[in-house]
Amino acid sequence: MNLPPRPQRLAPNRASMRSHAGLLFTIVIVAWGVNWPVSKALLAHVSPWWSAALRSVVGMATLFVICALTRRLVLPKRGDLPVIVSVGLLHMAVFSLLVALSLQYVQAGRSAVLAYTTPLWVMPAARLWLGEALTRRRVFGLACGLLGLAVMFNPAAFDWHDRHAVFGNALVLLAAFVWAVAIVHMRAHRWISGPFELSPWQLLLASVILCTIAFAVDGAPHIIGWAGFAGLLSYGGVIGGGIAYWLAGVVTRRLPAGVTSLGLLGVPVVGTLASASILRESLGLDVWIALALIVGGIALGTAPRTATPCRSDEAA
């Protein structure tokens, strides 16, 4: 089809933007996926209380620097304070701490799968609190995801007599529930500033909360093996934290929402593979079957019926 002169010049630029966005999105998925075994390995150097707190502090500092360099550092408006509190408290503080505590007892790959059941809990929560339709496809997707959980916790594959294992898995599932509540509130919130612009302030709140809890429970941080600790913390806070969050913000402005929501399902897949490779975790067939069911169920429940145009297209 022959395009008018101006769209002809724009078309290659759009294709180039999407190609670059696809590459950036791949980096985000890998960075967040590898973050799971890194978080697990970090516990060999510092307590889970300080692991969550220090990663939050480093991530916060990274985001403040990025926002300043990209001229996107803004003071939060009063209307955005509720979402700063909800996301900063529930997702960035409580979710991070629960996951860090759970990794003492749960393999990183298994934890990644359980944590990313969050969209399953968002579906019924959004129906109750936001009035979103619970379509047949969403119900079927939810059923697939719950079947995946049943596979992971069936008595033949999971030792229900191991109190530590039960406690650790319960912590991850609780973290997923907490994250779901934060997501539902984010959907209901009327944004004044953008999510990325608010993220350093949310991490600031989370850092204050997590450091206060860590000091109260664990005292001053006791670091074992500074070299390994510094490398893991740098990855978890800078690459898997601030930089990945920044790139995710870039990607969401350039790719359709449906693509990004489905693409993020690659994070638990990468997390599971990275944990098996880096930490030499032996993951049973039940975890892989559950991963396929949960990811497939989330894909069914969250995939849009029609493609959503990306913001760059709309702006053009």
pLDDT, residue 313, reads: 37
pTM score, whole prediction = 0.86
Instruction: Report the pLDDT averaged over residues 40-63.
Output: 96
Please report which confidence band the pLDDT of residue 8 belongs to, taking 50, 70 and 90 as the band edges: very low
Instruction: Report the pLDDT averaged over residues 257-265.
Output: 74
pLDDT, residue 293, reads: 92
Cα dihedral sign, 153-155-156-158? positive
The C-alpha atoms of residue 5 and residue 212 are separated, in whole angstroms, by 60
pLDDT, residue 100, reads: 97
Please report which confidence band the pLDDT of residue 33 belongs to, taking 50, 70 and 90 as the band edges: very high
> What does residue 310 show for φ and ψ, rounded to 5 degrees?
-80, 160
The C-alpha atoms of residue 312 and residue 254 are separated, in whole angstroms, by 6
Q: Whole-angstrom distance between the N-terminal and C-terminal Cα of the chain?
A: 19
pLDDT, residue 18, reads: 59
- pLDDT for residue 285 is more than 90: no
Q: How many residues does the chain have?
A: 316
- pLDDT for residue 46 is more than 60: yes
Instruction: At 51, list the tokens.
Output: 């692991």
292-301: pLDDT as tens digits: 999 998 888 7
The C-alpha atoms of residue 88 and residue 95 are separated, in whole angstroms, by 10
